[in-house]
Amino acid sequence: MKKLYTINTVNNFMELIFKPFGMPFAQANPDIEVYNIMDDSLLKETLANGGPTVQVRNRIMHYAQAAQSSGASGILVTCTSVNEATKLIRQMLQIPMINIEEPVAQMAVDNGRKIGILGTIPTSPVAIGRVIREKAAEAGKDIEIVNSVVDGAFDVLCSGNRAKHDEMVNEALYKLAKEVDVIAFAQISMSLLNHAPLDVPVYKIGPSGFDKIKQMME
């Protein structure tokens, strides 16, 4: 039996991440046990400082080492905003560790040149944008990024008002869709959004991240 550990930075991760994405993955892969680590101070500190601090990196490093010591076969970090920390830490582990948005960044680069990034907190579009630029450079592809941040929508979602969150995000989504070739969502918290059909592909964070770490664990 393989073990997958997720590292989460929001205290409502069961509702936003585990139940919609982790549980279906676990049910579809009975040979993999999924365990979850949660520390909501990680995102709070990252947001307050415009990116992950040394202390945030150190805490994630300790969680990753603890997961490895517990027999983990892989680690999936579910928060886009701390992906800079993941990139540094994984070099020091003996098991694969990825950030959940990495496959979405790859899909955006593969399928678009003018890439829209939609987020609900300011740190996540910056973080996924960095990954998109890295993947574009690896592919030798010129891209243009258009960022859109729906200020306040994440707090609205965390207060329990999903309908208002979706209304706010959809307004920005429909506007952004007129300006770009593809859209990448910057956070998994947006992935349950219901929206009307669009003329451009929209890549949402979630199952592709679980599938990618599974592939690496094999």
pLDDT category at 77 given cuts 50, 70, 90 is very high
Where in the chain is CATH 3.40.50.1860?
2-100+207-217, 102-203
Quick check: 6 and 34 in contact, CB under 8 A?
A: yes
How far apart CA 134 and CA 127 sit, in angstroms, is: 11
Residue 137 contacts by C-beta under 8 Å, 6 or more apart in sequence? Answer: none
Dump pLDDT digits (tens) for 92-105.
Answer: 999 999 999 999 99
Dump pLDDT digits (tens) for 19-50.
Answer: 999 999 999 999 999 999 999 999 999 999 99
Over residues 76-91, mean pLDDT: 97
Beta bridge partners of 133: none
Q: What is the pTM of this model?
A: 0.95
How is domain 2-100+207-217 classified at the CATH fold level?
Answer: Rossmann fold (3.40.50)
Over residues 123-147, mean pLDDT: 97
| pLDDT confidence of residue 134 | 97
* Backbone dihedral region for residue 76 (phi beyond 0: left; psi -120 to 50: alpha; all else: beta): beta
Amino acid letter at 217?
Answer: M
Side-chain-facing half-sphere of 96: CA atoms under 13 Å: 19
Over residues 133-150, mean pLDDT: 98
Residue 81 contacts by C-beta under 8 Å, 6 or more apart in sequence? Answer: 9, 43, 46, 47, 51, 52, 121, 123, 124, 127
How far apart CA 176 and CA 69 sit, in angstroms, is: 44
User: What mean pLDDT, rounded, does the chain reach?
Assistant: 97
Quick check: 82 and 130 in contact, CB under 8 A?
A: no
Over residues 162-186, mean pLDDT: 97
Amino acid letter at 119?
Answer: G
User: For the domain 102-203, what is the CATH code?
Assistant: 3.40.50.1860
